[in-house]
């Protein structure tokens, strides 16, 4: 059994939905389909999820929201008209109207319930169209199927473990199951949505629950590329990549799937196949636990801005037991999570996300470090970017870091820091933010041209 998830651009209009159904029906192992809400049809278009957010905001702030509601209806009405399923539009309209007319007792819950209507309506629509064209399909409601979620402190949404057992029953369905992505239910029956792009997570959960042979994630590009195509023309396509490599690259801003979507697939070792709805003949990119081949020494290169370094030095730091523990506990008191920690004999740098390390936190942290740790110096270096080269083949190859560092130095880019993890599958360089794109291009040229 394959689980196939289609993103918003694959469901943006009737033509796209027909393509989705053709892909689905061309392989009888594709038994579970997870859908996003209709996305953009052209670059200045608005995604249905954004229309729904505007609607919820209007209602929450006491406005009628009529204009916003019409915009949502218009999108679904044009799809239903073109697919010739007018009765489906009637039920979508009734369902959305009922949901948004409920009294607002909790703005967060109201927002979640409204946001989920994009995926929910889309799943009903696809199931109706499949049936109309003679293929047995059922809309699967996440509550009925038992997809339970919980919002943790801090707002992160996690799936409750029992959901996997509940959802494994989908294997017994004789019809194609059309499942809305992006949301599930709390134990007390309220809708909870994942963060944006979260239908990827629903697909991965379902793939893990039914022990799918593959989790197909259909989008609008042929492959994952070795570098962001906005930075380099015609970049090298990646045919195979491991979960670990993908995770490292995602960390440095390589966005293909939702960051959390790989985990359920990774735990059960289910390969993820990124495919293109607009070009189904391309085999796409396989994300696997173990590689079958290497196309290149480096698998991917990525860079992300928005980091800063907290630098400390103290003579004989290496002899002082518990020094780092004390720093970490000061940072933990401020709720700061640490990204990296390159260190020397008498110095240590802690890399943080700039947005988390606010000026107030910086002031308190510096004050405590100076007072409690008696350091010789402490300073903060802001506006850093992290640039990473990632590849499992690098682990057994001598000189990759040297090649990368030489290329960067020849390009006149100063390295603020270097870090290589023990797994040797990635090397991270810290550069000034203004050099981020240039550094990525320089490294791409070194390893791929
Ligand atoms: N429709 C939601 C969004 O736009 C979720 C998704 O597409 O994955 O973020």
The domain segmentation of the chain, as residue ranges, is: 2-288, 300-448
What does the pLDDT read at residue 312? 94
| Rounded-to-integer distance, Cα 447 and Cα 400, Å | 9
Give the position of tokens 């059994």. 1
CA 331 to ligand 1 center in whole angstroms: 33
CA 222 to ligand 1 center in whole angstroms: 20
Region class of 176: left (phi > 0), else alpha (psi between -120 and 50), else beta = beta
For the record, the structure tokens of 429 come out as 């360089």
Give the position of tokens 């994952």. 224
What does the pLDDT read at residue 107? 96
Q: Strands 176-180, 30-35: parallel, antiparallel or unpaired by DSSP?
A: parallel
| Rounded-to-integer distance, Cα 36 and Cα 7, Å | 5
What does the pLDDT read at residue 118? 98
Residues in the chain: 449
Mutation probe of ligand 1 site: the residue of 11, 118, 179, 196 with most atoms within 8 A of C-beta = 196
| Rounded-to-integer distance, Cα 308 and Cα 367, Å | 18
| Rounded-to-integer distance, Cα 2 and Cα 33, Å | 9
Q: List C-alpha distances in Å: 219 to 39, 73, 301, 382, 444.
A: 11, 24, 21, 36, 25
| Rounded-to-integer distance, Cα 218 and Cα 8, Å | 10
What does the pLDDT read at residue 300? 95
Listed as ranges, residues in the chain with pLDDT below 50 are: none
What does the pLDDT read at residue 255? 78
Q: Which atom of ligand 1 is nearest to the CA of 37?
A: 1
| Rounded-to-integer distance, Cα 260 and Cα 263, Å | 6
Give the position of tokens 């942290």. 365
Question: Residues with Cβ within 6 A of ligand 1?
Answer: 8, 36-37, 47, 49, 118, 181-182, 196-200
| Rounded-to-integer distance, Cα 353 and Cα 123, Å | 37
The CA angle 340-341-345, to the nearest 5 degrees, is: 160
Per residue in 193-251, pLDDT (tens digit) is 999 999 999 999 999 999 999 999 999 999 999 999 999 999 999 999 999 999 888 87
| Rounded-to-integer distance, Cα 9 and Cα 279, Å | 13
Mutation probe of ligand 1 site: the residue of 36, 76, 121, 259 with most atoms within 8 A of C-beta = 36
Please enumerate in sequence order all residues whose Cβ is within 8 A of that of 305, keeping only pairs 6 or more positions apart, or say none: 383, 384, 385, 433, 436
CATH entry, 300-448, from 3.40.50.1000, 2.60.40.10, 3.20.20.70, 3.30.2130.10: 3.30.2130.10
Q: List C-alpha distances in Å: 403 to 328, 374, 406, 443.
A: 34, 39, 5, 9
Per residue in 150-172, pLDDT (tens digit) is 998 778 999 999 999 999 999 99
Mutation probe of ligand 1 site: the residue of 122, 182, 192, 257 with most atoms within 8 A of C-beta = 182
| Rounded-to-integer distance, Cα 217 and Cα 274, Å | 5
Tell me if 311 sits within 8 A of 379, measured CB to CB.
yes
3-state SS assignment for residue 362: helix
2-288, which class in CATH?
Answer: alpha beta
What does the pLDDT read at residue 251? 79
Instruction: Say how many Å lie between the first and final Cα of the chain, rounded.
Output: 40
Q: What is the DSSP string of 229-261?
A: TTTSSSPPEESEEEHHHHHHHHHTT--SS-TTT
What does the pLDDT read at residue 293? 87
Q: What is the DSSP string of 97-148?
A: HHHHTS--S-HHHHHHHHHTHHHHHHHHHHHHHHHHTT--EEE--HHHHT-B
For the record, the structure tokens of 101 come out as 């007319």
For the record, the structure tokens of 2 come out as 């394959």
CA 35 to ligand 1 center in whole angstroms: 9
| Rounded-to-integer distance, Cα 26 and Cα 302, Å | 35
Q: Strands 347-353, 417-420: parallel, antiparallel or unpaired by DSSP?
A: unpaired
Tell me if 186 sits within 8 A of 149, measured CB to CB.
yes
């Amino acid at each position: 059994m394959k689980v196939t998830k289609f993103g918003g651009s694959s469901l943006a209009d009737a033509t796209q939905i027909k393509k989705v159904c053709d892909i689905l029906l061309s392989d009888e192992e594709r038994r579970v389909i997870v859908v996003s809400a209709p996305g953009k049809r052209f670059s200045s278009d608005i995604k249905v999820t954004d229309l729904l957010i505007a609607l919820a905001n209007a209602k929450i702030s006491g406005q009628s929201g009529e204009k916003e509601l019409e915009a949502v209806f218009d999108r679904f009405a044009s799809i239903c008209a073109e697919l010739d399923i007018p009765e489906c539009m009637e039920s979508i309209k009734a369902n959305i109207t009922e949901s948004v007319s409920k009294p607002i007792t909790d703005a967060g819950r109201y927002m979640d319930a409204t946001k989920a209507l994009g995926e929910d309506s889309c799943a009903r629509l696809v199931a109706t169209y499949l049936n109309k064209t003679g293929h047995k399909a059922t809309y699967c409601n996440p509550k009925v199927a038992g997809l339970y979620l919980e919002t943790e402190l801090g707002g992160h949404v996690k799936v409750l473990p029992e959901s996997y057992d509940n959802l494994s029953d989908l294997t017994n369905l004789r019809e194609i199951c059309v499942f809305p992505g992006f949301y599930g239910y709390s134990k007390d029956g309220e809708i909870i949505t994942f963060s944006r792009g979260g239908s990827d997570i629903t697909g991965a959960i379902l793939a893990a629950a039914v022990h799918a042979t593959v989790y197909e994630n259909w989008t609008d590009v042929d492959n994952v590329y070795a570098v962001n195509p906005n930075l380099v023309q015609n970049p090298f396509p990646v045919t195979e990549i491991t979960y670990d490599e993908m995770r490292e690259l995602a960390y440095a801003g390589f966005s293909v799937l939702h960051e959390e979507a790989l985990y359920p697939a990774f735990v059960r070792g289910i390969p993820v196949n990124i495919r293109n709805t607009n070009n189904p003949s391309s085999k796409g990119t396989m994300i696997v636990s173990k590689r079958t081949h290497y196309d290149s020494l480096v698998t991917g290169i990525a860079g992300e801005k928005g980091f800063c370094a907290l630098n400390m030095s103290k003579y004989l730091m290496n002899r002082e037991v518990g020094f780092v523990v004390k720093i970490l506990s000061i940072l933990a008191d401020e709720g700061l999570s640490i990204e990296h920690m390159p260190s020397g004999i008498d110095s240590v740098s802690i890399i943080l996300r700039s947005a988390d390390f606010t000026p107030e936190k910086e002031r308190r942290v510096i004050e405590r470090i100076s007072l409690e740790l008696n350091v010789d110096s402490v300073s903060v270096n802001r506006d850093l970017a992290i640039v990473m080269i990632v590849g499992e083949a690098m682990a057994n190859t001598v000189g990759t870091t040297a090649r990368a560092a030489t290329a960067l130095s020849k390009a006149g880019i100063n390295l603020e820091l270097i870090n290589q993890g023990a797994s040797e599958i990635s090397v991270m360089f810290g550069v000034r933010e203004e050099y981020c794109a240039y550094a990525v291009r320089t490294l791409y040229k070194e390893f791929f041209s």
